[in-house]
Amino acid sequence: MKLSLLACVLVLASHAVGRAADAPGRAAGKPNILVIVADDLGYADIGVHGGKDVPTPHIDALAASGVRCTSGYVSAPYCSPSRAGLLTGRYQTRFGHEFNPHVGDEAKLGLPLDQRTIADRLRGAGYATGLIGKWHQGYDPAHQPQSRGFDDYFGFLVGGHNFLLHKDAEAKFGSAHSHDMIYRGRDLQKLDGYTTDLFTDESLAFIDRHADKPWFLYLAYNAVHTPLEVLKKYGDRVPASVTDPARRGYLSLLVGLDDAVGRVTAHLRKTGRDKNTLIFFFSDNGGSGRKPFLAYNTGVNTPLRGDKGQTLEGGIRVPFFVSWPGKIPAGKTYDAPVIALDVLPTACALAGAKVDADLDGMNLLPHLTGEAATAPHPALYWRFGPQKAIRQGDWKLVDWRDFETKTSSGWQLYDLAKDVGEKNNLAAEQPQRVAELSAAWDKWNKNNVAPLWHGDVTEDPTAPPRVTPKKK
């Protein structure tokens, strides 16, 4: 009788916690949310996608602990616009963040200030919010992370950053553009260490520091982006059979990234937080292959065609895993297209945070748990300078740019169910489908705006030559 009474009390208590989790402004019962983003990770370089050059047991284990989204995308094939889409849940072309913020008026260069970020929304729902790692959304104080909803920030503002840090390093382009030093909040730090390890150390400290409330952590490693700086403890684990120095450098970064993911997930288990933490893992874009003009890192995207910077699958389809033990089924695959834009509405749904009607992302939870039978999106779209694409079901219409010949392909049609490598162009055989998909893309594009700044000439053929400011 006493056991029955106790069971009733526990059931009632669990319902009360559930109601509290749904109430705006209440933190009780809300899950932690961890978004791990790799930089320029090749699709085929991890074990779960067939990579064999180095083992990636921790990334593979994370994939196995949840759902592996086989058609997981990002909203741009380049670093900064992809992250702008992630942070806002909106196609970044809707607000002009089409290219990397290279040169311009720094007061206007970065994620537009009228766009609310996932950190803004989750902080309003009672979450502690943190960014550790790469920002790449603007340099001046108004565009920096602590002005965009993040309570805690430890990282760098630029697109690429050195891995090996030294206390006597000097900023190369002024403080905001430093490739050698790290910000803590708004203050530059001079540190010794290796960024992958430092970012992981800071992540564990952030998790422990916020044990009394739900937290959102955007953990944005710079691995495996260039420069290919090797730390001996990671480089020694790359097999001798890999002889190309650039490939060895890339793989050493990947070994470090995999260890880092393992340290974070092990800490969640050790502290008992794993079952109350939703984890997303993906790359900001595809691997850059061996293209020197893309700061190449030798990332391999097989069987996908194309690389970072292109609207072919190799530039926009990425490793994409979602894990939440006990809430999302483990060891499953999900084949319908999903996109990084979905992170924000998914997180907000769990946090009880308000979302706006103009979001392009969708709450993925009902789809990943099997509650919803339909696909999250009727179609996905891309625009990146002269490049464009639409995926509707298994059909993809794409106009991509060859950076070496500096030419555009024109519309090409592929059946991704049969031809994920985009080798058999069906445009001539199916003109009606081309017309329908191109019309759908044109309709979507009417809600986009002109880019707020030029990109590099690689991504933006209309860009003027970049002029390096003279030192005073």
Average pLDDT, the chain: 90
User: Has residue 238 got a pLDDT over 70?
Assistant: yes
What integer pLDDT is reported at residue 209 of this predicted model?
Answer: 97
Q: What backbone torsions phi and psi does residue 54 show, to the nearest 5 degrees?
A: -140, 145
Annotated catalytic residue, options 49, 58, 69, 79: 79
Per-residue pLDDT for 126 more than 60?
yes
What pLDDT shows up at residue 170?
59
Task: Give the sign of the dihedral formed by CA 37, CA 43, CA 49, CA 53.
Answer: negative
Q: Choose among 87, 159, 36: nearest CA to 360.
A: 87
In this predicted structure, what is the pLDDT of residue 329?
96
**Distance from C-alpha of 18 to C-alpha of 376, rounded to nearest angstrom:** 25
Q: Give this prediction's pTM.
A: 0.91
Q: What digits encode the pLDDT tens for the residues 14-44?
A: 333 333 333 333 355 899 999 999 999 999 9
Confidence of residue 466 (pLDDT cuts 50, 70, 90): low
Helix (H, G, I), strand (E, B) or coil at 275: helix
Per-residue pLDDT at 162 = 83
Taking a C-beta distance cutoff of 8 angstroms, is the pair 64, 330 a contact? yes
What is the average pLDDT across 2-15?
A: 37
Q: What is the mean pLDDT of residues 256-279?
A: 98
Structure tokens of 355?
Answer: 């979302």
Q: Is the predicted pLDDT of residue 11 greater than 70, yes or no?
A: no
CATH classification code of 30-368: 3.40.720.10
Active-site residue identified among 136, 143, 210, 377: 136
Q: What is the pLDDT of residue 192?
A: 87
Residue 160: predicted pLDDT = 85
The b/e string for 124-150 (b: 16+ C-beta within 10 A; e otherwise) is bbbbbbbbbbbbbbbbeeebbbbebbb
Calpha distance 36→62 (Å, rounded)? 11
For 83-114, the pLDDT digits (tens) are: 999 999 999 999 999 999 977 788 889 999 99
- For residue 73, give the nearest of 59, 60, 85 by alpha carbon: 85
User: What mean pLDDT is predicted for residues 150-160?
Assistant: 93
Whose CA is closest to 37, among 261, 336, 289? 261
Question: Which pLDDT score is estimated for 405?
Answer: 86
DSSP string, 186-208: TEEE---EEHHHHHHHHHHHHHH
pLDDT of residue 289: 85
More confident residue, 303 or 470: 303
What confidence tens digit (pLDDT) does each residue in 377-430 have? 999 999 999 999 999 999 999 999 998 888 999 999 999 999 999 999 999 999
- The encoded tokens of residue 76 equal 């741009």
Maximum average pLDDT range among 10-19, 50-59, 294-303: 50-59
Residue 69 among the catalytic residues: no
**pLDDT exceeds cutoff 70 at 4:** no
- Chain segment 342-378, per-residue pLDDT in tens: 999 999 999 999 898 999 999 999 999 999 999 999 9
* Among 68, 138, 79, 55, CA closest to 322: 68
Q: What is the pLDDT of residue 203?
A: 98
Residue 173 has pLDDT above 90, yes or no: no
Catalytic residue status for 348: no
pLDDT at site 292: 61
Q: What is the per-residue pLDDT for 467? A: 54
Domain spans of the chain? 30-368
Query: pLDDT over 90 for what percent of the chain?
Result: 76
Which band of pLDDT confidence, cut at 50, 70 and 90, is reported for residue 168? low
pLDDT score of 80 more than 70: yes
